[in-house]
Structure 1
Amino acid sequence: MASAKPPAELLELYTAIQSLFPTETLGEEKWFFVVISALTGAGKPSLAADLYLFLVGLPQYATSEARKALMRRLREALVKMVSIVGVCRPLEAIMCIDAVTQAEDAETSCSREDWQCDAANHERGTSWLKKLYSENLEPIDEMFSRQQDFGWISREITYGLYLSDHRILDGVETELVVLSGIMAQDLPKMVGWHLRACRRIGMSMEDCEAVQNCIELCLDFAVIALGPTPRVKDIEHEV
């Protein structure tokens, strides 16, 4: 399949991310979740199309079925990003990807067409929330007891609908998306929470630091200036 070549500066970014990303421990075909999530969250959603065109030009995506599977994974990352940055930037990103997708590679499934805001959704969302936050959830729940709309949104929507659904992206891939989207918004408290979450689901300190460095490369590319940001060593005592 022929594909347009991304600008040289983007190719340099992809190369740098791939060289830094801890592929040996976190696995293949995960580095691009950092790129699409950080750049979309940083206000550069149109660059999702360049990333897609770069990826579909790789040997592992030589078949239409492989490209459709890739689309499902990229789309799921952007769907999860809705819960982190709102709908507009992820929607812009998927529209840009759709505009450069060949007709033969159209992937028309809907991952959540049968979703129900029911007891099973609540349990799934709460279970993942507790895994990530553990004992640190108690003071947040205390605040939610006063701000109940946000407690409901957190369990039923943010975690129930979006982040605890691991049918397409697993837990680690989900946290790569979440951490990238949060860092793009320069939210230090939540960066610390999700570095801690990454450790709690099995990522090593070294992997967390490498991923954070990858996200920072993307944000530098997007000309996003971050304030003081926690590192994994700062939250390790809480893990």
Structure 2
Amino acid sequence: MPNPSFAQLLDAARAGEPRCGRTRLILIDGQAGAGKSTLANRLAVALGGSASAGAGTYMPDAPLTSDAPVQIVHGDDLYEGWGGLATLDEVLLGQILEPLAAGGDGDFRMWDWLEDKRTYVIAVPQRPFLIIEGVGVAAPRARTLASLTVFVEAPWDARLARGVERDQHSYDDVINLWETFERDERARHQLTGARGAADFIIDGTAPIPDV
């Protein structure tokens, strides 16, 4: 089945009712290495915001301004390392989405994968749009607060190749780490039913046409 057009995704993001206070939440779940971050950046720019440099790149001396219309939160900044899917909801729901849904602001401490600990506090205030991308982010409770849910997938060999290219300089056993995370990922997605509940399913190896 062909991918939806980018115009369809953008229209759906804008048309959805805000369910996290004043914020329209866009969840981009899917498989590791499938292209979630790329899609998040494309949507953010189209919605009037800026692209993110990626997980782990938060600059405490230059945080996102309070009037920025779009914020991207990366799952890799939420997980506590390679085994972090087990405690994802404690941060995602407890520290970000539930406070927003109650009309307040959220925040969380970013996980530093190399230091193996939480470091900087990242504020997540009410904004017109919040995009959260990452494996496992579209849990059932999170979906009830979302204006749009997308699931991005790709064949394992393509995703592993992307992951090895990205992480090989940081981890000696990168293939084993990715294979272990893949097992946790499958279990998480089976538990949450994210793919079947998504508004759109995206093939991360195929283009998303403009129209």
TM over 0.5: no
Q: Which of the pair is proportionally richer in helix?
A: 1
TM-score by length of 2: 0.34
Higher gyration radius (CA): 1
Q: Pick 1 or 2: higher relative contact order, CA cutoff 8 A, min separation 6.
A: 2
